[in-house]
Amino acid sequence: MDAPPYTTILAAEGAALADAAEGHLDRPVPSCPEWKVAGLVGHLGGIHGWTRQVVAAGGERVSMRTITPPPEDQADLLPWFRAGLAELVEALSVDADRPAWTFSPNAPDTVGWWQRRQALETAVHRWDTQTAADPGRADPIAAELAVAGVDEFLADFLPRVLTGQPTEALTGTLHLHATDTPGEWWLDFGADDLATRREHAKADTAVRGPASGLYLWLWNRQAPDVAGLEVFGRAETVEAWAGAVKL
């Protein structure tokens, strides 16, 4: 991905999340019903801290059991989050090819994977936090970042989800098409291993619209109509998505 680099995006998205959380820590998060904003901030701050440990380990696997819990006093939560964010940006501001274990079986074990992963995770949770703080007014995910997120989701997350919870609801082929920046994908749910190609091709179901909408829909953050997406062909796949792809 060209400029801005993922570390710059991470810093900006994390700062926007913290700004949105100010004064709203007790708000429920509609897109993550199990959390209030304070819980979401604590979760992401813990992931940031764990990622710093992963990078420092130089290729060795680090258990998530090492995640440090957030401070108990809510007044300390956002200063703790902001400080951890700054430390993560510094930790990730190294050569992208530096060794670092990842949980993806399809990606090289490098810091570059984590640079993208944390920029994306922080951007999605920024959207969650803004949605909680001011419903209906969350900023979209930047189009180029969202395209990178779709790439990651299809390569690193969807195959694991479908392997762990096989479903008959997703059948045939699916074409995703970003309309505001280059980005097209073709999936075949009937293949032995989920087949995904970066191309324009006819499919049983097609979903097209802004990259942010595609990405947020894949993560079950927005319904297709709310995300500004158009659906063509077999709508059953889209209708079944939220129930079939449980993340």
Q: Kindly give the parts of the chain with pLDDT less than 50.
A: 1-3
- What's the pTM? 0.95
User: What's the CA gap between 173 and 196, in Å, rounded?
Assistant: 10
Q: What are phi and psi of 99, to 5 degrees?
A: -65, 135
pLDDT attached to residue 166: 61
Write the DSSP symbol of residue 173: E
pLDDT attached to residue 1: 41
Say whether 196 sits in a helix, a strand or coil.
strand
Return residue ranges of the chain for CATH 3.30.1050.10: 143-244
Return residue ranges of the chain for CATH 1.20.120.450: 6-133
β-strand pairing of 205-209 with 173-178 = parallel
pLDDT attached to residue 195: 82
pLDDT attached to residue 2: 47
Q: Architecture of domain 143-244 in CATH?
A: 2-Layer Sandwich (3.30)
Q: Architecture of domain 6-133 in CATH?
A: Up-down Bundle (1.20)
